[in-house]
Structure 1
Amino acid sequence: MQHSKRILVTGGAGFLGSFLCERLLAQGHEVICVDNFFTGSRWNVAHLLSNAGFEVIRHDVTFPFYVEVDEIYNLACPASPIHYQYDPVQTTKTSVHGAINMLGLAKRVKAKILQASTSEVYGNPNVHPQPETYWGSVNPIGPRSCYDEGKRCAETLFFDYWRQHSLRIKVARIFNTYGPRMRPDDGRVVSNFIVQALQNQPITVYGSGEQTRSFCYVDDLITGLIRLMGTSDDVTGPINLGNPAEFTMLELARLVLELTGSRSEIKFLALPVDDPQHRRPDISLAKTALDWTPQTPLREGLGSTIAYFDRLLASGQSSGHLAAE
C-alpha cells in the first residue's frame, strides 16, 4: 500500500484538474484543490466534497499561497484560445507569477512539483512529430503568445529552480486532451464539433480542414501525469504526453457527425492567426521513462464525451457546469 500524501492541485476545479483530484483521492491521498473559478467550475468537483480528504480553496495563483504539502501539481491557467485571449495579460501572469509562487512554495516546504506545460511551446512546428528536443517556432508578439510564451517562461523558471535550488521538478508537455467536463463554450475543436453536431448546427472548420491534431482522452493523460510525478527525481522532463494518432480536422468532423447521427453540414471559416498546421507528439520518452502510452481510441473517447455533452445540453445546464484544462 502506497504512502498517503498531502497534494496541492492548482486549477483543480478545471477539466484536467478535477479528474486529477478524483484519481489522487481514489489512491488514498489528501487533496487541496485551489482554483479561482475563471474557467474552472465547482460542479466539476461537487461530487468530491463529501470526501474527508478533499478541500477546495478559492485562490488566484498570481498571489502567494501558504500550505504544507508533499507534492504540487500546477495546472492553473486557461487553456483554450477563447479564454486565454480574453485577458491576455492575466494569462501571462497566471503562467509566470503562478509558476514563481508555486515554485517558491515548493522550495519552502521541500515539495516535489509538476508543471502542466503544453504542446503550444512548439508553436507552428517545423519538425513533425514534435520531440522534446525541438525548441519550437513561436510568434512572441501574436494573439496566442500570452499562452505560448507564458508556458515557455514557466518551463524556464522550473529548470532554473532545479539548477539553482535543486528543486525536485517535473514538466509535462500536454497535447490536445478531450473528454467529459470540457466546457461547451471553450472554443476547442472537440467541444465545438460535438456541441454543434448535437444541436444540428453547422460544423465550423477553420481553413481547409487539412490541418492536423492528435487527441488524447483525459483518463490516459491523468495516468501520464501521475506516473511522471511518481518517477525518480532524475526524470525531470519535459516529457510529451499525448496521443500520437493524428487526424485532420475534416476527419474529426466526419467522425463526430457519424457518432452523433447529426444533420449538420460542414462550414469553412478563415484560419485564426498563428494556428498551428500540425500537432503530433513524439512520445518515445514517455514510453521509456514512464512506460506510458494512451489506451483509448478516438472513437471510444468521443463516444463518452458525446454522451456527456448530450446529457448536459438536455439538462439545460451547459452555461456553467464544465471547465477548461
Structure 2
Amino acid sequence: MPGVFAEVRDRGRTWRGASGTADVTTGRPVTPGLRHRVGSVTKTFTAAAVMQQVERGRIRLDAPIGGYLPGLVPGERGQKITVRMLLNHTSGIPDYLPRAFPSLAGFPSGPDVSARSIDDNRFRQFRPDELIRMGLDAPPAGEPGGPAGVYSNTNYLLLGRLLEQVTGSTAEGYITRNVIERAGLRHTGFPAGPRIEGPHSRMYEAFYGLIDPPRDYSVYDMSWVGPAAALVSTTDDLNRFYAGLLDGRIVSRSSLAQMQRTLPVRALDGTTIHYGLGLHEVTVPGCGTFWGHDGSAWGAGTISLTRADGKRQMSVAVNLQRWNRPDSSGLPQPHPIDGALAALYGQALCGDGNARPTTG
C-alpha cells in the first residue's frame, strides 16, 4: 500500500494520522488532510438529497420510477420499480460497468481481458442516460422488490435524474447546495473536470494484478459514475457529514429511520452487505453498530463509519485499489494489506486491533 491516511473521532477528541507516499515516483508523503476520490460514499449524499425531496412531498418512496421518468424506464418495468428500490438496490436493474468497460468483462479468464477500457475512458464524457441504458439493456439482476438486492450504480444514476426532474437543477448542483453546504463541508465537491483541485494523492489501480505495476489514475473524468460515486472529499469532511446525518441535521429523524431499514445486498465484489437507503450497517462484536459507506474509484479507496450513538467515528483513505490477485479459479486471494486494514479498523472503531467489523 503506497499510502494511507485517516481521522478518528472519539467523544470530542480527534486523531489524524498518515503513513506512506502520495507519489511513488517523487516520494512525496501522504498527509491527513489530503483530498481524495471517495467513490460510492457519494451514494449517501445522493440518498440524503432524495430524502429531503421526500420530506417536501415532491418524491414518494414507494411511487414507481416510471411515473417520474417515463422516457427512461418505460412500461411494466417502470411501474414495478419504486424509488425505494433504487435507493436500496432491490430494483433488479444490473450495473452498467461491464458494458462501459468491456475489456474488463469476463475477468480473469476472458479471452480479451485487459485494462484497455480503463485507459480509453480516462477523458471520455459519458452521458447519464447512455449509462442508464446500458444497465437497462443488460439481463435483469433480479425481480423488483425482492427480499435481497444486487448493488448497482445504475440505480443511483437514475436517482440523479430523478433529482433533476423534481428540482429543476442538476443533481450535482442540488446535492452541493442542500447536502454538502448544509453539512458545513469545506473540501467536498463534484470535480469540474478530470483533475482534482487542491492537495491530493496520486491514485494507483492494480485491478487484481492485471495492471502491474499499478497505474496512476488520479486524473480521470468521473462522468462514468456521476451522483453514484464521483465526489472528492477529505476524511475530516466525511466524519463531519456522517455526524450531521446521524444527528438529524441533514435529513429528519424519520427520514434517517427509513435510511436505516436494511436488507441483504450482494456487493460488486460478491460479498453480502446490510444496506439501507444509501447507508451500510456494520456490526463490530462487543463494540457496537456503525453506519456509513465505503467507496472505490480507480486507484482510490475510502471507508467512513460512525457509531450509532455518534460518539465514535472513523474515516480512512488509501491510494491503491484491487491489490488482491486471483487464484486459478479466479477468486481474489487474501493479502497482508487486508489484515493490516482490518486491524486498523478495529483499533480505530473500538480501540482493539483484534476487533473485526462485519457487514454481512
Normalised TM-score (structure 1): 0.28
Larger RCO: 1 or 2 (CA < 8 Å, sep 6+): 2
| Structure with higher helix content | 1
Normalised TM-score (structure 2): 0.26
